[in-house]
């Protein structure tokens, strides 16, 4: 066996492996023996047909299997036992001469260039407290009450927080915005829409939302809206629009009383238990957010040391996964398919940029996992399958069948589990400092000094 390496790029290699006649005949004989033992030929018991007959009837199948064996052997000798850190196998081919004098196997691989792992033990991580304060609890209570509110039709001057059914139409220099930005209906004309007067984070036209305050049912007025120079809709950016608003109906938001019936509906005994329940919910959410933020600090620290070129197949794969996830989430949220086509180039560019740090993190974390002997066992995989199935709203057995159809999905799931375990290991070994405690100490020192 003769092996030659050819560099295609810093992250891609081609390996050419030549087999001589003797090596080919040894493999061919092994294949032939297996065929004789397993094929069924009328008139012969299993394993009793002659070599000549088996070769005659199954010549194409034997050659096909022989080529696969040669590719496997070439892979084992030149790739698996080599010094390259292989990211993926791009292509394999086998050219076998009819007289078996020579066979050439070509294997194209993507590799990760060598680099030294940074010191990954004791990484400095700044974290925050997960404790819920009274302000956060009050905000969540307001949110819950708002979800259960009634909206009572009223005849009065509109105040902040009232819900208003209104219509509006915008113009810039006398030209309808519908004509300037025909695909942006929210900023053009709305014949009938509900708006919360004075809402701070309204997705609608801010000048309209604020302009409703002080109006009454049947009222009409004009307001001005200045779009910022970096506004997301380029045709409106830096321009001043005039909107005409008409009010059709006003509803006052009536919050429910926090009484015995309310607490019963929330499955708590009283206000103390209600606040305690909300506190636990907030703290669990904050713990998840803090954990994600801490992991991201670990990742950000590590990828700073990955200065080598990245394998093309890895970048393409990560980019495609990012695009797929983005499209699935947005389609579920009701975004039209044509929006993706319209923004195809910018989405592709954005996903390509996001793929770089993601691939860097996978590479360095898998190297750490290998060094620390972090692996994935059956219990890890079972738990991940149950969690993933729950997120997708499927039964675990249904999700398992789906995984079996695509082996790469199982490998991706295993990789994600290993990455998660590695990050948990690094967090256990990290130098974690609580930002809240530091800020409290600084504040106390400042007060003492004063």
Strand partners for 105: 17, 94
pTM: 0.71
> Reduced to 3 states, what is the DSSP secondary structure of residue 34?
helix
449 pLDDT tier (thresholds 50, 70, 90): very low
Q: State how far the Cα of 377 lies from the Cα of 145, in Å rounded to an integer.
A: 46
Residue pair 294/432 in contact (Cβ under 8 Å)? The answer is yes
Domain positions in the chain are: 2-111, 150-254
CA distance 89 to 97: 24
pLDDT tens digits, one per residue of 171-182: 999 999 999 999
Give the per-residue pLDDT at 344.
Answer: 83
Looking at residue 118, the DSSP 8-state letter turns out to be P
Q: Indicate whether 112 pLDDT > 90.
A: yes
The answer to whether 337 touches 275, Cβ cutoff 8 Å, is no
Question: What pLDDT does residue 436 have?
Answer: 64
Residues 6+ apart with CB under 8 A from 235: 180, 181
- Note the pLDDT of residue 444: 45
Per-residue pLDDT of 129-165, as tens digits, reads 999 999 999 999 999 999 999 999 999 999 999 999 9
Q: Are 112 and 16 in contact (CB under 8 A)?
A: no
Q: Above pLDDT 90, what percent of the chain?
A: 70
Answer for the pair 323, 348: CB distance below 8 angstroms, yes or no: yes
* 152-to-162, 163, 220, 247, 252 alpha-carbon distances in Å: 10, 9, 22, 16, 5
**pLDDT at 445 (0 to 100):** 40
CA distance 376 to 409: 15
Distance CA 167, CA 179 (A): 18
Is the model's pLDDT at 8 over the cut of 80? Answer: yes
Confidence tier at 447 by pLDDT (50, 70, 90): very low
- Which pLDDT score, from 0 to 100, does residue 204 have? 83
Q: From CA 26, how far away is CA 17, in angstroms rounded?
A: 16
| Segment 72-92 mean pLDDT | 87
* Span 183-231, pLDDT tens digits: 888 999 999 999 999 998 888 899 999 999 999 999 999 999 999 999 9
Query: Distance (Å, rounded) from C-alpha 27 to C-alpha 94?
Result: 14
Task: Say if residue 412 is exposed, middle or buried (CB neighbours under 10 Å; 0-12, 13-18, 19+).
Answer: middle
Phi (first) and psi of residue 140, to 5 degrees: -70, -35
| pLDDT score at 443 | 42
pLDDT of residue 437: 57
Beta bridge partners of 189: 169
Pairing of strands 2-9, 12-20: antiparallel
Predicted pLDDT of residue 89: 92
pLDDT of residue 403: 85
Higher-pLDDT residue of 405 and 314 is 314
Classify 215 as helix, strand or coil. coil
What confidence tier does 328 reach under pLDDT thresholds 50, 70, 90?
A: confident
Pick the CATH number of 2-111 from 2.60.40.10, 3.30.70.1050, 3.40.47.10, 3.40.630.30: 3.30.70.1050
Mean pLDDT value of segment 416-443: 80
Relative to beta strand 431-434, strand 124-127 is parallel
Which CATH number applies to 150-254: 3.30.420.40, 3.10.50.40, 3.60.15.10, 2.40.33.10?
3.10.50.40
pLDDT of the residue at 440: 46
Mean pLDDT over the full length of the chain: 90
Average pLDDT of span 279-287: 96
pLDDT tens by residue, 349-384: 999 999 999 999 999 999 999 999 999 999 999 999
CB 303 within 8 A of CB 115: no
Bridge partners of residue 5, in order along the sequence = 15
Q: What angle do CA 176, 182, 188 make, to 5 degrees?
A: 50
The burial class, CB within 10 Å (0-12 / 13-18 / 19+), for 80 is: exposed
DSSP run (H or E) holding 319: helix 312-332
CA atoms of 258 and 43, how far apart (whole Å):
88
């Amino acid at each position: 066996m003769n092996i030659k390496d050819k560099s295609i790029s810093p992250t891609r290699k081609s390996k050419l492996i030549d087999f001589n006649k003797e090596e080919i005949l040894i493999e061919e004989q092994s294949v032939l023996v297996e065929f004789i033992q397993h094929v069924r030929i009328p008139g012969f018991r299993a394993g009793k047909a002659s070599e000549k007959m088996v070769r005659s009837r199954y010549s194409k199948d034997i050659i096909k299997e022989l080529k696969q064996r040669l590719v496997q052997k070439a892979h084992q000798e030149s790739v698996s036992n080599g010094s390259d850190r292989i990211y993926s196998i791009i292509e394999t081919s086998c050219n076998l001469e009819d007289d078996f004098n020579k066979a050439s196997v070509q294997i194209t691989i993507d590799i990760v260039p060598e680099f030294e792992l940074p010191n990954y033990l004791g990484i400095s991580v700044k974290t925050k407290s997960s404790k819920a304060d009274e302000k956060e609890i009050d905000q969540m209570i307001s949110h819950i009450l708002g979800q259960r509110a009634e909206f009572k039709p009223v005849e009065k001057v509109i105040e902040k927080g009232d819900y208003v059914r209104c219509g509006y139409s915008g113009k810039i220099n006398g030209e309808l915005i519908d004509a300037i930005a025909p695909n942006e209906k929210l900023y053009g004309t709305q014949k009938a829409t509900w708006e919360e007067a004075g809402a701070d984070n309204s997705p609608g036209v801010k000048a309209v939302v604020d302009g409703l305050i002080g109006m009454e049912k049947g009222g009409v007025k004009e307001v001005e809206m200045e779009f910022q120079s970096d506004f997301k809709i380029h045709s409106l950016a830096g321009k001043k629009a005039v909107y005409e608003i008409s009010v059709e109906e006003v509803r006052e938001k009536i919050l429910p009383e926090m009484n015995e019936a309310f607490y019963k509906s929330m499955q708590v005994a009283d206000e103390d238990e209600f606040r305690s329940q909300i506190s636990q919910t907030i703290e669990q959410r904050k713990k998840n957010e803090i954990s994600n933020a801490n992991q991201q600090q670990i990742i950000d620290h590590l990828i700073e040391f990955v200065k080598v070129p990245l394998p093309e197949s890895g970048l393409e794969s990560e980019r495609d996964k990012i695009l797929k996830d983005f499209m699935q989430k947005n389609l579920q949220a009701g975004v039209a398919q044509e929006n993706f086509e319209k923004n195809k180039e910018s989405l592709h560019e954005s996903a390509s940029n996001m793929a770089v740090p993601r691939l860097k993190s996978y590479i360095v974390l898998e190297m750490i996992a290998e060094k620390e002997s972090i692996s994935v066992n059956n219990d890890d995989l079972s738990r991940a399958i149950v969690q993933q199935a729950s997120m997708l709203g499927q039964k675990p057995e249904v999700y398992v069948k789906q995984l079996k159809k695509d082996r790469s999905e199982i490998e991706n799931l295993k990789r994600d589990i290993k990455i998660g375990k590695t990050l948990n290991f690094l967090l256990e070994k990290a130098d974690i400092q609580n930002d809240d405690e530091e800020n409290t100490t600084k504040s106390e020192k400042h007060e003492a000094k004063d």
